[in-house]
């Protein structure tokens, strides 16, 4: 954060000038999503203003969603995302959706391995209790912005080696001749709690979309049961509606 110009501009309250400089630094990418803001005291010394001024500027930015305070660990930058428009009628993968928009995806793995299915995984995938399932839990990141947390569950039959999934689940299923051709998706509103909020870099209680996808092979078998949590500030789901026949 360059010190000169930090409080530039004409007359007006100091906290508003500081607020504006911080806002510009966030929006221009000088401060990155997830960066910790220096402690109030340091920022006050640095900008040569009082701590009250810093607090007011920070309060303002927290209210507008550009900073988030995390209990006991400090104040962090939230870079707003440009919203992604997502069709509700096409069965595509996250990697493909982002690639179409020219964004690079990467994942932070939360879970990747073979497990015995939970009761609802057993029911949804139509598996016996002694079957094995591959679970893939990922924080999904597009151009360094965390957008979603996805937990996919696939019968081990289709994905015997979950570690072979390096980036795209659908690409791996395609290689196993098990890419889904149809899916049913349920979307509901939620408030994002910790630890998900911390991973997604949003405030606790921020709006989220909880999405469940069950997808099928042409044979009618369920191939995937995925529960996802999308950032509500990042997605617009769009569907085309037609008059029923
Ligand atoms: C979307 C869907 C998930 C699906 C995933 C596959 O995000 N909500 O249900 O598992 O795409 O994406 P990829 O092939 O990039 O892993």
Read off the pLDDT of residues 11-28 as tens digits, 9 standing for 90 and up: 788 899 999 999 998 888
Q: Is 169 in the pocket of ligand 1 (CB under 6 A)?
A: yes
- Residue 5 has a pLDDT of 66
Q: Is 179 in the pocket of ligand 1 (CB under 6 A)?
A: no
- Residue 79 has a pLDDT of 78
SS3 call for 173: helix
Q: For residue 95, which atom of ligand 1 is closest to its CA?
A: 15
Residue 70 to residue 241: CA distance in whole angstroms: 42
Instruction: Answer yes or no: is pLDDT of 243 > 80.
Output: yes
Q: For residue 171, which atom of ligand 1 is closest to its CA?
A: 14
SS3 call for 22: helix
Atom 5 (ligand 1): residue with closest C-alpha?
93
Q: Is 124 in the pocket of ligand 1 (CB under 6 A)?
A: no
CB-based contacts of 111, cutoff 8 Å, min separation 6: 135, 136, 137, 151
Q: What spacing in Å lies between the alpha carbon of 234 and ligand 1's midpoint?
A: 16
Average pLDDT over residues 164-177: 94
Mutation choice for ligand 1 from 150, 168, 212, 214, CB with most ligand atoms inside 8 A: 150
CB-based contacts of 130, cutoff 8 Å, min separation 6: 116
Higher pLDDT, 3 or 60: 60
Q: Name the residue among 62, 81, 55 with its Cα closest to residue 23.
A: 62
């Amino acid at each position: 954060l360059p010190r000169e110009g930090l409080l530039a501009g004409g007359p007006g309250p100091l906290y508003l000038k500081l607020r504006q400089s911080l806002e510009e630094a966030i929006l221009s990418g000088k401060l990155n999503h997830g960066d910790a803001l220096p402690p109030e005291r340091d920022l006050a010394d640095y900008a040569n203003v009082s701590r009250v001024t810093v607090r007011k500027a920070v309060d303002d930015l927290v209210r507008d969603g550009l900073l988030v305070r995390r209990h006991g660990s400090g104040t962090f930058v939230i870079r707003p995302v440009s919203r992604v428009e997502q069709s509700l009628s096409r069965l595509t993968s996250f990697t493909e959706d982002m690639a179409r928009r020219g964004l690079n995806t990467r994942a932070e793995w939360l879970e990747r391995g073979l497990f015995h299915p939970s009761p609802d995984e057993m029911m949804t995938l139509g598996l016996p209790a002694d079957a094995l399932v591959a679970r893939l839990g990922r924080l999904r990141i597009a151009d360094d912005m965390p957008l979603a947390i996805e937990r996919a569950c696939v019968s081990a039959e289709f994905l015997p080696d979950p570690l072979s999934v390096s980036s795209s689940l659908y690409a791996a299923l395609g290689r196993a001749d098990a890419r889904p051709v149809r899916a049913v998706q349920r979307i509901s509103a939620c408030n994002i709690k910790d630890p998900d909020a911390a991973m997604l870099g949003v405030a606790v209680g921020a709006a989220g979309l909880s999405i469940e996808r069950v997808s099928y092979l042409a044979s009618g078998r369920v191939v995937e049961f995925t529960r996802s949590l999308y950032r509500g500030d990042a997605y617009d789901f769009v569907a085309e509606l037609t008059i029923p026949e």
